[in-house]
Structure 1
Amino acid sequence: MGNPAEGLVALLDLEPIEQNIFRGRSPQESLQRVFGGQVAGQALVAAGRTTEGDRPVHSLHAYFLRPGRPGVPIVYQVERVRDGRSFTTRRVVAVQQGRTIFHLTASFHRPEPGIEQQLPMPEVPAPEELPRLTDEIRRHLGHLPEALERMARRQPFDIRYVERLRWSTGDLTGAEPRSAVWMRADGPLGDDPLTHTCALAYASDMTLLDAVRVPIEPLWGSRGFDMASLDHAMWFHRPFRTDEWFLYQQESPIATGGRGLARGQIFDREGRLLVSVMQEGLFRPKEDRKDPDSPAPDTGRPGR
């Protein structure tokens, strides 16, 4: 591929096997499990391929059930739940080696006129005023570790944290459970609206759980917790392009019982709210691994 963004487009281009059945690639990675955003994005592609083109997705609700194995294809089975006059509903089951690893339900809606209002976008520096994530890491460490160097070459998104990265627990005094990043695909994604929607679903799982950890430990360096996405929900409000800058504002209202809840709002540069996101994640002390069938620890998501 010419660049990582082209690789993302190819990753989201599923192979049709049979009516309502698709197969997605799962690249061989050094991670212990398939990145959850990849599975969500591919599942949404499968759902969208069975709907009318004039009905963009307006919401999705998903559960990560088992860890996926890198390098092993994933089969997506689509159930056509409903085709109404205004709404279309699809249910997708992702299967790998005979085991269900992921469920997604997506609803599609033909746009229509209605009321208009939204909360304003927070005031933050422009993305051009902020360093790329890899540049900030390289400046702090004096180099980019080899594992991060390899990951950066495959990273399909340019990520820029609004606030400086915290590198030690001494930096956490008074820190609130909030985080914000500017993001955009690191190259053009073409003009298919479904590709942009599914690419954003991919990106939405990359940094959201950071907000849970901000008051507890630095986002970079050694972790005291294994992390895994448990469920994920998105509401799509307006059309957008994922290869243009968007602000991902994230916060965590609560973390308790081994789980942390995070919510996000995605704005374009003009301050329009594009997408709302909710996710719950597992946060388990690294020495406490009891359930072999629970989602695998997140030991290195793309971009981290």
Structure 2
Amino acid sequence: MTDQSAEAGALGGTFPELLRLDEIDENLFRGRCHAGAPLRAFGGQVAAQALTAAGRTVGADRAVHSLHGYFIRPGDPRRPIVYQVDRVRDGRSYTTRRITAVQRGEAIFTLSASFKEPEKSAERQRTAPAVPSPAELPDPYLAWAEADPEGYARSTVSRTLQMRFVPDDSPGLPPEDPGMPQQFVWLRAASPLPADEPLLHVCALTYLSDLTLASTTAMHLQPPRFRRTEPPRLTLASLDHAMWFHRPFRADEWLLFAQRSPSSSDGRGLAIGEFYDAGGALVASAVQEALVRERREAPGG
């Protein structure tokens, strides 16, 4: 992913369309990804399609509980991506899959995913932060539509996802720790998703989770996309991405993505995020390390 990824270009259609894969052989699938930046496939979609491929080899009685991915090379949105699934283990309770995304014979992304049978146990969780509801917040894409109607018309973002950014001065926000910038974003799929396809909701959330984490790592250097008026000064790109899914959820209902970045150094930034549903249940966690570099001026620029 690069700076704000999917905000940089057309998003395509609904989530079932974005995650569609053709099965070309046993454990072998093929898909296409839209651009997140010019000539670079959006990393969140690559990860979500890789997870979709893994799920196609696992029984419906086992749900995804974690994934760990590495972005190795930029994907080319003009070419299909082949997903090779390695059935690492099918245990009594847990199932492990390793997926390699390939273009032109080279790996562009690898993912390890674990699935498990549901079980009952004692529960606890961090309390959800008190933030304004999505209904109280403006739609940032409306401002985009007013400022660039042609660009907005070329994009199908409104059919794919909805976002609401929580202002930094909103009452009730937890105080920001020194050296740890934070941001809070409401996210959801823009159109209803089938209730009986939990894998689709998990894959959709995987896609959504890659939209804003990189920008959180760079908030000490520049505001996120919808909060700045000047051109970006940084190059941001996902290096690796991990998620854990704690409780059932729907990706077509509002989820609060509470994010913070505890470190940035060596051209890399780390961001940690938690997803809460509207009732305050912690449904998933995400961690991402992103490349953070100052953009170089082009020769003569």
TM-score bracket, normalised by the shorter chain, equals 0.7 to 0.9
Identity %: 49
Q: Name 1:267's counterpart in structure 2.
A: 276
Deviation at 1:30, TM superposition (A): 6.4
TM-score (norm 2): 0.85
Q: Name 1:15's counterpart in structure 2.
A: 22
Indicate which of 170, 177, 192 corresponds to 2:181.
Answer: 177
Verify: 1:52 aligned to 2:56, yes or no.
no
Q: Name 1:238's counterpart in structure 2.
A: 247
> Which secondary structure does the structure 1 equivalent of 2:102 belong to?
strand
Q: Name 1:219's counterpart in structure 2.
A: 224
**How large is the Cα RMSD of the aligned pairs?**
2.3
Deviation at 1:115, TM superposition (A): 2.1
Deviation at 1:137, TM superposition (A): 4.6
Counterpart residue type for residue 50 of structure 2: A
Verify: 1:285 aligned to 2:294, yes or no.
yes
Kindly indicate whether the alpha-carbon contact (under 8 Å) linking 2:168 and 2:183 is maintained by their aligned counterparts in 1: no
Q: 1:274 to 1:96 in 2, by over 3 A?
A: same
* Aligned-partner Cα distance in 2 for 1:152–1:13: 17
Q: Name 2:126's counterpart in structure 1.
A: 119
- The unaligned stretches of length 5 or more in structure 2 are 1-10, 170-177
* Aligned-partner Cα distance in 1 for 2:295–2:158: 27
Deviation at 1:211, TM superposition (A): 1.5
Indicate which of 74, 82, 97 corresponds to 1:75.
Answer: 82
Deviation at 1:5, TM superposition (A): 8.4
Q: Name 2:238's counterpart in structure 1.
A: 229
* Aligned-partner Cα distance in 2 for 1:9–1:224: 34
Q: 1:149 to 1:257 in 2, by over 3 A?
A: farther
Number of residue-to-residue matches in the alignment: 275
Kindly indicate whether the alpha-carbon contact (under 8 Å) linking 2:12 and 2:156 is maintained by their aligned counterparts in 1: no
Deviation at 1:151, TM superposition (A): 3.2
Q: Name 1:256's counterpart in structure 2.
A: 265
Q: Name 2:147's counterpart in structure 1.
A: 143
Deviation at 1:176, TM superposition (A): 5.4
Counterpart residue type for residue 104 of structure 1: L
Deviation at 1:33, TM superposition (A): 0.1
**1:182-229 CA distance string (max 9 Å, x none):** 111111122311111101100000011221122221223311111100
Counterpart residue type for residue 69 of structure 1: D
Kindly indicate whether the alpha-carbon contact (under 8 Å) linking 2:261 and 2:272 is maintained by their aligned counterparts in 1: yes
**1:95-145 CA distance string (max 9 Å, x none):** 01211100000000111111200010000000000011112456xxx6236
Q: Name 1:158's counterpart in structure 2.
A: 162
Kindly indicate whether the alpha-carbon contact (under 8 Å) linking 1:41 and 1:201 is maintained by their aligned counterparts in 2: yes
Q: 1:228 to 1:10 in 2, by over 3 A?
A: same
TM-score (norm 1): 0.85
* Aligned-partner Cα distance in 2 for 1:109–1:288: 49
* Aligned-partner Cα distance in 1 for 2:221–2:35: 32
Counterpart residue type for residue 23 of structure 1: R
